[in-house]
Amino acid sequence: MIELLKSFLGDSLFVYLIAAALPMLFILPYALVAVLLEMKMAAHIQDRLAYMYTGWHGVLQPVADILKLLQKENTVPHVADKFLFALAPYLIFIGTYAGFAAIPFSSAYIGSNIDLGVFYIVAVSSLVVIGIIMAGWASNNKWSLFGAMRSAAQIVSYEVPTALALVVAVMITGSLNLQDIAKFQAGGIQNWLVFGGPLPLLQKILIMPFTFITFIILFLAGIAEVNRTPFDLAEAESELVQGYNTEYSGMKFAIFYLAEYANMFLVSAIVVTLFLGGWASPFGNALSGPLWGFFWFVAKGMFFIFVQIWIRWTLPRLRVDQLMYTSWKVMTPFLFVCIFAIGLILVL
Amino acid sequence: MSEVKIYFNNIWLAFYTAAVGMRRTFLHLFTPAVTIQYPDVKLKLPERARNRLYVNIDDCIGCDQCSMACPVDCITIQTIKGTPDQDLGTTSTGQKKRLHVPLFDIDIAKCCYCGLCVYPCPTECIVMTDVYEFSEYDRSNLIYRYSIMTPQDIEQAKEKLKKSEEEAAAKKAAAATAAAAAKLAAPATSAPAAPAKTEPINPSPDAPGQAKS
């Protein structure tokens, strides 16, 4: 993509700016859709209707919400650390947005085609923790701080299973470049890593249960990393008001919101790229141009957004000890077993 | 169960119960919503629903029973007695109206919708309707004035009553004087002026009303 732009515009800063802004063009409309989907699904799961008046069945409500948030006063608590308070939401969003740089949206577009893509995403998405702690600390509100602390503990714990699950995918594909990982799985639904990847049949059948378990664990750990129900201890409404973003209002709150939904898509995107073929079409070479690639990628991503929302409105929140138990005593040992077994199968 | 078995059983249960719950919520995605789009669609109220009070003032005989029944004193009624020569008409239930009702105020802000005022009404003119959307920006707008008498009407009615009372008093006085005269005539002396002067002051304007009701 960058090469294409360079051929048009020459080697200037503009090329990089445009390439860097492209995921934003996707995230903003996606966030509107996701907010609407979240509210509509929440309502329909509870047999309600949700927005009905803004546009047809309330489809314009997210736009109205954004306009409202834009007009709202930006309050800063009197005792807050003003600088950190103002910085935190942007830091969280930057941490999330930086992750999008290594995500291959289609065979023709990846923000930065680096060979350490997986590693880069793990590293950069940890920046979100700093932002969350910053927000909680700077608010000078005990509930915010509690939320931030919980969130930090949770994200740090769940980095472990996430990283281990990524290792599984890297072991099979032999590359840390997400574009390569997606290419590896091209050629139909049977080549996706959930179903064992494009390996010889015997290996494939042996490997399949382990990749499937890894895929499930990666997805769950991903949900935990973005602090969504059932792992939303950071913003446990019944205990902590709203968690680390309690004191925020107006546009800063909107940035938090945007970061949360962008993070949801980032998690879905990683799961999709590593285990569900990324932009690869499920029908082999049919319907598999670059634009179709984008379509498949977004469709798969949105499916996981749907599942995340579905889980959110179904399951209650875990207790703190259960949360840690799940991470350290269930996910991590299972992943060690998976890594060992897959390594063994690949070597044999 | 051994520790290991419990461990795996717990994991199995976590997935199984989550799946049960998610199946349930997924089915609920497709059940029709129970929401009523309120201002557009309204539920039919039960027949005996108690909401805004309405007074059919044409049927009111000014008996004041609703006001007495009211536990929060939200009904204020004033009446002016009709004079015998006036025909105030009859109610739809055929009762003869004897009192003007110059003031029939219901402070619906105070009303507790108990419906106790409805039952004593002899002409069934105060009723609870099914209207429940009557919020106002100004609280004074919630005082409903049901009387249809204009200030002139009230003035006229008062005057008429006064006149007729005066007439009645005069008649009474005249009768009294006549009686006194007759009494005096018996002993055959004449001093009629003194009682005729004092008598009309005696009955106060509302005295006859009280006596009659």
Last residue of a domain, one of B132, B153, B174: B153
Res A20 pLDDT > 90: no
- Could A315 and B21 be called an inter-chain contact, meaning their C-beta atoms sit closer than 8 Å? yes
The residue among B153, B183, B207 that closes a domain is B153
Residues B110 and B22 in one domain: no
CA A176 to the chain's CA centroid: 18
Helix axes A250-275, A13-45, angle to 10 degrees: 90
**Residues in Cβ contact with A16 at an 8 Å cutoff, skipping those fewer than 6 apart:** A2
pLDDT tens, residue by residue, A143-167: 888 888 888 888 888 888 888 888 8
Domain that holds residue A86: 79-347
Per-residue confidence at B199, pLDDT binned at 50, 70, 90? very low
Asked, for residue A53, whether it belongs to a domain, the answer is no
**What does the alpha-carbon distance between residue B58 and residue A50 come to, in Å, rounded to a whole number?**
47
Minimal C-alpha gap between A255 and chain B (Å): 29
Residue B202: other Cβ atoms inside 10 A: 11
Question: A122 near A163, Cβ under 8 Å?
Answer: yes
Cβ <8 Å between A47 and B11 = no
Q: Is residue A7 one of the residues assigned to a domain? A: no
Out of B25, B33, B34, closest to residue A314 by CB: B25
Band of residue B20 on the pLDDT scale cut at 50, 70, 90: very high
Token readout for A262 is 């962008």
pTM of full prediction above 0.90: no
DSSP state of B52: S
Does B117 lie in the same domain as B79? yes
Q: What's the mean pLDDT in B115-128?
A: 88
Give the pLDDT score at B198.
Answer: 45
Judged against a pLDDT cut of 90, whether residue A256 lies above it is answered with no
Mean of all residue pLDDT scores within chain B = 81
Beta-sheet strands, E only, within B15-146: 53-55, 75-81, 99-107, 126-128, 143-145
> Stretch B43-66: mean pLDDT, rounded?
86
CA B4 from chain center: how many Å? Answer: 76
Read off the pLDDT band of A233 (50, 70, 90): confident
Cβ atoms of A108 and A31 within 8 Å: the answer is no
- Examine the pLDDT at B152 and tell me if it is beyond 60: yes
Which range has the top average pLDDT, A189-193, A199-203, B115-119?
A: B115-119
Higher pLDDT, A9 or A130: A130
Whether residue B185 is predicted with pLDDT greater than 80 in this model: the reply is: no
One domain, residues B62 and B119: yes
Between CA A249 and CA A259 the distance in angstroms is 15
Of A61, A68, A184, A176, the residue nearest A123 (C-alpha)? A176
Residues B98 and B12 in one domain: no
Q: Look up residue A134 and give its two tokens.
A: 């910053």
- Predicted confidence at residue B212, as pLDDT, reads 41
Between residues 14 and 53 of chain A, which touch chain B (CB distance below 8 Å)?
Answer: 41, 43-49, 52
Among B75, B138, B128, B140, which Cα is nearest to B105's?
B75
Percent of chain B exceeding pLDDT 90 equals 4
Does A159 reside within a domain? yes
User: Is residue A143 within 8 Å of residue A313, measured between CB atoms?
Assistant: no
Tens digit of each residue's pLDDT (9 = 90 or more) over A335-346: 999 899 888 888
Answer whether residue A298 is part of any domain: yes
Chain center to CA of A178: 15
Separation between Cα atoms, residue A265 and residue A252, nearest integer Å: 20
Q: Is residue A51 part of a domain?
A: no
Domain contains A2: no
Could you report the predicted ipTM of this complex, rounded to two decimals? 0.78
pLDDT at A74: 83
- Say whether pLDDT at A290 is over 80: no
User: Does A218 fall in a domain?
Assistant: yes
The pLDDT, as a whole number, for residue B34 is 86
Q: Is B145 a domain residue?
A: yes
Q: What is the mean pLDDT of residues B15-27?
A: 90
Is the pLDDT assigned to residue A131 strictly greater than 50? yes
User: Is residue B166, in this structure, part of any structural domain at all?
Assistant: no
**Same domain for B10 and B92?**
no
As a whole-number percent, the residues of chain A with pLDDT over 70 amount to: 97
Contacts of A311 in chain B (CB under 8 A): 18, 22
A286 vs B76, higher pLDDT: B76
Question: Distance between CA B204 and CA B162 in Å, rounded?
Answer: 11
pLDDT at B187: 62
Compute how many other C-beta atoms are within 10 angstroms of the C-beta atom of residue B173. 21
User: Residue B211: what pLDDT?
Assistant: 42
Q: How confident is the model at residue B161 (pLDDT cuts 50, 70, 90)?
A: confident
Average model confidence (pLDDT) for chain A?
A: 84
Q: Which residue from A43, A52, A314 is facing B37, i.e. has the nearest CB?
A: A52
pLDDT given at position B208:
45
CATH code for the domain of B70:
3.30.70.3270
Residue B209 pLDDT > 60: no
| Cis preceding-peptide flag for A209 (omega within 30 of 0) | no
A274-287 mean pLDDT: 79
Q: Which residue has the higher pLDDT, A289 or B54?
A: B54
- Do B8 and B84 fall into the same domain? no
Number of A to B CB contacts under 8 A, please give it. Answer: 38
Chain-centroid distance of CA B95 in Å reads 18
Contact B108, B142 (CB under 8 A): yes
Domain boundary among B153, B182, B198: B153
| Residue B109 within a domain | yes
**What is the Cα–Cα distance from A17 to B194, expressed in whole angstroms?**
116
Contact B66, B145 (CB under 8 A): no
Confidence at residue B210, expressed as pLDDT on a 0 to 100 scale: 43
A69-121 pLDDT, tens per residue? 888 888 888 888 888 888 888 888 888 888 888 888 887 777 777 888 888 88
Most distant CA pair in chain B: distance in Å? 132
| Residue type at A68 in one-letter notation | K
Q: What is the domain count for chain A?
A: 1
B12 and B89 part of one domain: no
User: What's residue B16's pLDDT?
Assistant: 92
Closest among B59, B78, B143, B74 to B114, alpha carbons compared: B74
In a domain, B119, yes or no: yes
Residue type, A282: P
pLDDT, residue A87, reads: 87
CB distance B33–A330 less than 8 Å? no
Instruction: Kindly report which listed range (A42-46, A196-200, A297-301, B205-209) carries the lowest average pLDDT score.
Output: B205-209
The predicted model gives B2-27 an average pLDDT of 90
Q: Which residue of A has its CA nearest to B25?
A: A45
Question: Does residue B200 carry a pLDDT above 50?
Answer: no
Q: What is the pLDDT of residue B189?
A: 53
Least CB–CB distance from A48: residue in B18, B26, B35: B35
Q: What is the pLDDT of residue A53?
A: 84
Residue B139, domain extent: 53-153
Domain count, chain B: 2
Name chain A contacts of B28, Cβ cutoff 8 Å: 44-47
Within-domain flag for B29: yes
Residue A210: predicted pLDDT: 87
CA distance B48 to chain A (A): 29
- Above 50 in pLDDT, residue A128? yes
Question: 């073929």: which residue's tokens?
Answer: A277
A49:B33 CB<8 A: yes
